[in-house]
């Protein structure tokens, strides 16, 4: 049985990254949200593109206004007006100024902006009542970014801020990694779909919906395969067919040691390389990880909580790596929080307890979900935003003590 850390590093070692040569597509910038940038982006423009004013006011030669004060204002001649978007037409000579607005280009000869609050206009003249700092309120060309330098790196997720940068860099089409295709199915003769009437002994398949939601939430394409019977041939057919057109297969159930748990045997007979059989984690001990030439297989435990916990802890990091994200984005985020309740551990296995991460008076607190922390109880899983971790060998994290909490979504 591997430790959680060993399992995490084994998984991140055996899953590949998407190859940028073979897996790139161009998308419209307006459809790029949540995608992963597949190639570095540079711009031919400096940012700012030209020297411009950061305020509404007057463009001046600093030397003309260096000695101004309310008692001895300086009078300058206004030679033109420069709104944003219009190029200046004139050059400032000593004693001259241009009326200027935020974002407008500085005219030749000007080096400083006087904000309009420090001035009084009279016809084509303006009185300056205060000496500005030299170069005040000038945004100089290229101070934010110089043409040709790296602007965005490959492997970053595209959110609002990155999309703003791409728009400003005039990239209406963006190279992104194609979406991962993740096939998902549930195993178990006891399972029915949510719209079927329950017979004695049956159970509704919630895992398919949970895992589909989680994978869709990561912006990936799901191939939902439904419920697969506890029958080795049916299982083998399903996996053999699916591994040809999915990057990842997630199944739940059938990975334990029961007579009807066929996943591992079927994977072996299909020639998969088995990397993990079980992990010292509670809930979630029976976890199967295997690879085919072009497909990664995660056989997750059937219990609904175990399925989601192992997905959050092990599958999501793997999906992030597979999707082309660069290394800094793979690992799960742990937050140190103060526990609001006693947290009991499982001794020999790293224990994950579900609940809510909250910010109270500027610090994180963990609120344990009320009700049973049994891996078959999915009812109190609703609302979960964090999983508190009790390390191996520790039986208790007492109320008020610090605990590491895995942030989940
Ligand atoms: P297994 O790992 O197949 O032995 O399943 C362990 C437990 O999880 C059993 O009690 C199953 O009924 C339950 N279970 C398995 N698959 C699902 C599923 N898709 N949705 C909800 N519960 C499940
Ligand atoms: Mg089963």
With contact defined as beta carbons under 8 Å apart, do 11 and 289 qualify?
yes
pLDDT average, residue stretch 226-233 = 97
| Statement to judge: residues 184 and 325 lie in one domain | yes
Tell me the pLDDT tens digit for each residue of 83-102. 999 999 999 999 999 999 99
Query: Domain holding 150: CATH number?
Result: 3.90.105.10
| Statement to judge: residues 123 and 212 lie in one domain | no
| Statement to judge: residues 130 and 246 lie in one domain | no
Residues contacting ligand 1 via CB (< 6 Å): 186, 188, 190-191, 203, 205-207, 252-254, 256, 258, 301-304, 376
Number of domains making up the chain: 4
**Domain hosting residue 96, numbered range:** 52-139
Tell me the pLDDT tens digit for each residue of 183-214. 999 999 999 999 999 999 999 999 999 999 99
Query: Domain holding 125: CATH number?
Result: 2.170.190.11
CA of 230, closest atom in ligand 1: 3
Give bridge partners of residue 26 from the DSSP assignment: 175
For the record, the structure tokens of 390 come out as 């009790």
| Statement to judge: residues 280 and 351 lie in one domain | no
| Statement to judge: residues 120 and 231 lie in one domain | no
Three-state SS at 220? coil
Nearest CA to 367 out of 351, 384, 352 is that of 384
| Statement to judge: residues 221 and 293 lie in one domain | yes
Percent of the residues in the chain that have a pLDDT greater than 70, as a whole number: 100
Query: Domain holding 352: CATH number?
Result: 2.40.340.10
| Statement to judge: residues 224 and 310 lie in one domain | yes
Sign of CA dihedral 76, 79, 85, 87: negative
Tell me the pLDDT tens digit for each residue of 275-325. 999 999 999 899 999 999 999 999 999 999 999 999 999 999 999 999 999
Query: Domain holding 303: CATH number?
Result: 3.40.980.10
| Statement to judge: residues 208 and 292 lie in one domain | yes
The answer, yes or no, to whether residue 20 has pLDDT greater than 90, is no
Q: Which ligand neighbours the alpha carbon of 260 most closely?
A: 2
| pLDDT band per the 50, 70, 90 thresholds, residue 107 | very high
What is the CA(173)–ligand 2 centre distance, in A?
46
What is the CA(376)–ligand 1 centre distance, in A?
8
Tell me the pLDDT tens digit for each residue of 112-169. 999 999 999 999 999 999 999 999 999 999 999 999 999 999 999 999 999 999 999 9
Tell me the pLDDT tens digit for each residue of 295-309. 999 999 999 999 999
| Statement to judge: residues 307 and 232 lie in one domain | yes
What is the CA(264)–ligand 2 centre distance, in A?
13
| pLDDT band per the 50, 70, 90 thresholds, residue 260 | confident
| Statement to judge: residues 224 and 308 lie in one domain | yes
Domain boundary among 277, 296, 329: 329
| Statement to judge: residues 209 and 324 lie in one domain | yes
CA of 256, closest atom in ligand 1: 2
Q: Which ligand neighbours the alpha carbon of 258 most closely?
A: 1
The answer, yes or no, to whether residue 346 has pLDDT greater than 90, is no
Burial 251-285 (b: 16+ CB within 10 A, else e): bbbbbbeeeebbbbebbeeeebeebbbbbbbbbbb
Using CA positions, which residue lies closest to atom 6 of ligand 1?
Answer: 302
Pocket test for ligand 1, best of 302, 307, 374 (most atoms within 8 A of CB): 302
| pLDDT band per the 50, 70, 90 thresholds, residue 347 | confident
Q: Which ligand neighbours the alpha carbon of 229 most closely?
A: 2
pLDDT average, residue stretch 1-28 = 96
| Statement to judge: residues 28 and 173 lie in one domain | yes
The answer, yes or no, to whether residue 264 has pLDDT greater than 90, is yes
What is the CA(187)–ligand 2 centre distance, in A?
6
Domain boundary among 86, 118, 139: 139
- The pLDDT value recorded for residue 91 is 98
Domain boundary among 296, 329, 362: 329
- The pLDDT value recorded for residue 51 is 98
What is the CA(310)–ligand 1 centre distance, in A?
14
Pocket test for ligand 1, best of 194, 252, 298, 308 (most atoms within 8 A of CB): 252
| pLDDT band per the 50, 70, 90 thresholds, residue 409 | confident
């Amino acid at each position: 049985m591997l430790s959680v850390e060993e399992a995490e590093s084994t998984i991140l070692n055996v899953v590949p990254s998407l190859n940028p040569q073979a897996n790139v597509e161009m998308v419209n910038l307006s459809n790029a949200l949540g995608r992963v940038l597949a190639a570095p982006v540079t711009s031919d423009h400096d940012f700012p593109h030209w020297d411009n004013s950061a305020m509404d006011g007057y463009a001046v030669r600093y030397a003309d206004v260096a000695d101004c004060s309310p008692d001895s204002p300086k009078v300058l001649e206004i030679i033109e007006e420069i709104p944003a978007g219009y190029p200046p037409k004139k050059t400032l000579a000593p004693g001259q100024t241009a009326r200027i607005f935020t974002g407008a280009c500085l005219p030749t000869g000007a080096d400083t902006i006087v904000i309009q609050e420090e001035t009084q206009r009279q016809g084509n003249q303006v009185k300056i009542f205060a000496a500005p700092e030299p170069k005040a309120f000038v945004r100089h060309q290229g101070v934010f970014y110089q043409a040709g330098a790296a602007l965005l790196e490959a492997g970053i997720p595209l959110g609002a801020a990155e999309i703003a940068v791409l728009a400003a860099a005039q990239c209406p089409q963006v190279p992104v990694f194609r979406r991962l295709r993740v096939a998902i199915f549930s195993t178990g003769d006891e399972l029915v779909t949510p719209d079927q009437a329950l017979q004695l002994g049956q159970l509704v398949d919630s895992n398919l919906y949970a895992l589909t939601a989680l994978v869709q939430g990561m912006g990936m394409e799901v191939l939902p395969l439904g419920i697969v019977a506890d029958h080795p041939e049916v299982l083998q057919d399903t996996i053999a067919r699916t591994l040809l057109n999915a990057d990842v297969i997630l199944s739940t159930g059938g990975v334990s040691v029961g007579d009807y748990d066929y996943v591992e045997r079927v994977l072996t007979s299909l020639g998969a390389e088995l990397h993990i059989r079980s992990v010292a984690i509670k809930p979630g001990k029976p976890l199967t990880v295997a690879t085919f030439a072009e497909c990664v297989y995660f056989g997750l435990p059937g219990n609904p909580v175990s399925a989601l916990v192992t997905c959050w802890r092990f599958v999501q990091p793997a999906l992030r790596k597979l999707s082309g994200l660069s290394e800094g984005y793979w690992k799960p985020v742990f937050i140190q929080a103060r526990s609001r309740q006693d947290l009991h551990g499982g001794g020999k296995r790293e224990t994950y307890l579900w609940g809510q991460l909250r910010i109270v008076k500027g610090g994180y607190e963990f609120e344990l979900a009320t009700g049973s922390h049994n891996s078959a109880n999915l009812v109190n899983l609703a609302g979960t935003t964090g999983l508190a971790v009790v390390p191996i060998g520790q039986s208790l994290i007492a109320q008020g003590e610090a605990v590491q909490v895995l942030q989940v979504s």
